[in-house]
Amino acid sequence: MSGEEIKKVALRHAVHNAVTHEGKAQSGPVVGRIMAGFIERRGKAKEVNDIVSRIVSEVNSWSREKQVTVLKEKWPELLESKKNIEKVKTLPPLQNVKRFEIVRTRFAPNPDGALHLGSAEPIIFCDEYAKRYKGKFILRFEDTSPDVKTPLNEIYKWIEMDLEWLGVKVDEKYVQSDRINIYYKYAVRLLERCSAYICTCTSSAFKEIYMAKKACPCRSSSIEVNLKRWMKMKDGTYAKGDAVVRIKTDLEHPNPAVRDWPALRIAESAHPRQGNKFRVWPLYNFSCAIDDHEMKVSHIIRGKEHEVNTTRQRYLSDHLGWEFPEIINIGRLGLEVGVLSKSKIRSGIEDGSFTGWDDPRVGTLRSLKRRGLQPEAIREVMIQIGPKPINSTLSWDHLASVNRKLVDPRARRFTFVRDPVNLKVTGIPDEHKVRLPSHPDHPEWGSRDYLVKPEKGESIFIISNKDAKMMRSDVFARLMGLFNIETTHFGSDKIQARFHSKSHQEARKFDFPFVHWLPLGVGIKAQVVMPDASTAQGLAETGCSNLEVDSMIQFERYGFVRVDSKSPFVAYYAHR
C-alpha cells in the first residue's frame, strides 16, 4: 500500500470521524482503522501516524459544511451506515402497570414562575409514558399558597403554552384553587374519623412537643371540639397562625417532619384567582394526596427530594383507605449556565437584574425558546438522561450539540459582520462573481450572489473588527468565496490590502485565515442578543430582512441564531 493510497484511506476516515464528532476529527481512531485494515502497514506506524496527522489537521481546518459536503459526495454510504446504527433511546418501561385500568400521569406546577429546563424533565417523562401506554396526561396547577408562593396570573397561560411548545398533549386540566371545597370535605371527614385534629398550640410549643415524640394536648380533642375549631378557622374567629389542621401519624417516627404533619392552615392574603373567598388553604401534601386519588393518577414522577412527602401522603391514604400510586423519584437537574431557581429569577426581575422571564441569562423554557432551542432537542436530552434518582448537571455544550443536529439541516446561511470596519483592496485584476450557497446541502435553495466590480483595480469591503485585528498579525487572508489578499496598511478605522491570488487551494495550503465580508453599501443594520444579555451590533445580508420571526439561520463563522424581530432586525444567539 503506497503513501498515496494511505492518504486516500486516511482522508476517508478523517472526514467521517470529523462529521460524527462535531467537526473535529481525532488521529487515534483514524490510525486504528488504517492499521486494522492493512496489516502490512503495522511495521511502519510512524509513517502512517505522520500522514494521518497531516490529513486530520487539514480536515479540521475545513468548515463543517465542507466536511459534510465532501462526505456526501465521496462516501455517502458512510452517512447511511451512521443512520442505520443510530438507535433511538427510549425510557424504561413503567413498573406495575397492570395495577391500574389506565396509565395516568400528572405534571403539577406552582404557577408562581415560568417553567425552566428542570421542569422539562418530569414533563417529558410523564408525556412519553402517557403516550406509550395510551394513557392520559394531567396538568394540575398547585396554587394554594397565596401567602408563601403567590401565583402570577399570566403564568397559568404561559405554562400551557410551554407544554404545547414541548409537544405535550394535555388530556385533563385542573386548578387546585378551584377545588377548595373538595379539600374541605375531606378535612371534615378526617376530623370525624379522628384521623386529624385542629391544633392551637404555638409553632414553637408544638415543635418542642413533637421533637420529644409526645402528643400535643390538642391531639386528644373530641370530634365536637375539632369541628367547632374548624368553623372558627373558616369564619375568621381564628387569625393566621392561631390554628392548623394536623394529620395523625406515628409520633415515634424517626423523621420529625413526618410526625403529625400540618394539612391546612389560615392564609389571609388575597389569591389572584379567588380573591378573599377562602381563608383556610390546604398545604401541599394534603391537596396533592387528595388530588392524586381523585384524579386516579397511576404513576407519580417527581424529584427525590419529595421522599418525605411520599411518607406523609401515605399516612393520609391509609386513613382514607386508598391505594397509593406508583412513585418514580428522579434527581434534580441543573444547568451549567443559566439561573433555574424561580425565586431567584422572580427576585431578579423585580430588582431589574433580569429583563424578564425570557432573559437569555436564565434557564426558563421561554428563554431557551427565544434563544432558538428546539423542543425536540430538549425532549431528546431528557430521554437520554432518563428517570434516574440521581442529581445531574446538563452541560450547555451537550444541549447545543443535540440542537445543532436539528437546526443545521434547515438553517439558511447568511453573513453577519460584527462591528464593521472598512477594508480597501487594491490590485484586483478583473470582475469577480461570487455565489455563496444558501445551504451547502440544499443547492435547490439557491445562493447569495455578489458581483465585485473594482474601479481602477480597487474595491471596498466591510469586515468585522475582530477579523481586522487578526489581520494585523496574519498578513495573508482569504475573503470567503472570493480571493486571497495581503495586508499592506493597518489604520485605526480601516485596513488596506492588495489582491494576492484567487486559488482557494493556496489559501488552504498556507493556512490563510478566512474572513467573511460584505460589499460596501450592502446589508441591513442587525443586532444579536448574546447569552450574557449583551448585544452585538453589525450588518447582516439584505436577505435577512425577508426572514420570518422564529426562523433559525446560521451566521457563517459566527453561530446559529433565532430571528426575534424583522424591523429592526434582531436575532438571539443560540450556539456555534
How large a percentage of the chain has pLDDT more than 90? 77
Q: Going by CATH, does the domain composed of 89-333 fall within 3.40.50.620? A: yes
Confirm if 229 and 198 have CB atoms less than 8 A apart.
Answer: yes
Residue range 453-463: average pLDDT? 96
CATH for 416-519 (1.10.3720.10, 2.120.10.30, 2.40.240.10, 2.60.40.2580): 2.40.240.10
> CA–CA separation, 126 vs 176, rounded Å?
19
Domain-wise residue ranges, the chain: 3-85, 89-333, 416-519
User: What is the grid cell recorded at 317?
Assistant: 391514604
C-alpha cell at 376: 425536540
Residues 476-499 have pLDDT tens digits of 999 999 999 999 998 777 899 999
Q: Please state whether the peptide bond connecting residue 513 to the residue before it is cis, i.e. omega within 30 degrees of 0.
A: no
Q: Specify whether the CB–CB gap between 400 and 561 falls below 8 A.
A: no
> 537 pairs with which residues across the strands?
527
Residue 458 confidence (pLDDT): 97
Higher pLDDT, 2 or 325: 325
Of the segments 14-23, 35-44, 62-71, 125-134, which one has the largest average pLDDT value?
A: 125-134
Average pLDDT, rounded, for the chain? 92
pLDDT of residue 50: 84
Residue 291's pLDDT is what? 98
- The pTM assigned to this predicted structure is 0.83
The backbone torsions φ and ψ at residue 367, rounded to the nearest 5 degrees and listed phi first, read -70, -45
CA distances from 408 to 31, 116, 402, 404, 552 (A): 29, 25, 10, 5, 9
Query: Do the first three CATH levels of 89-333 and 416-519 match, i.e. the same topology?
Result: no
Q: Express each pLDDT in 314-363 by its tens digit.
A: 999 999 999 999 999 999 998 877 888 899 999 999 999 999 999 999 99
More confident residue, 138 or 13: 138
Q: What is the pLDDT of residues 288-320, one digit of tens each?
A: 999 999 999 999 999 999 999 999 999 999 999
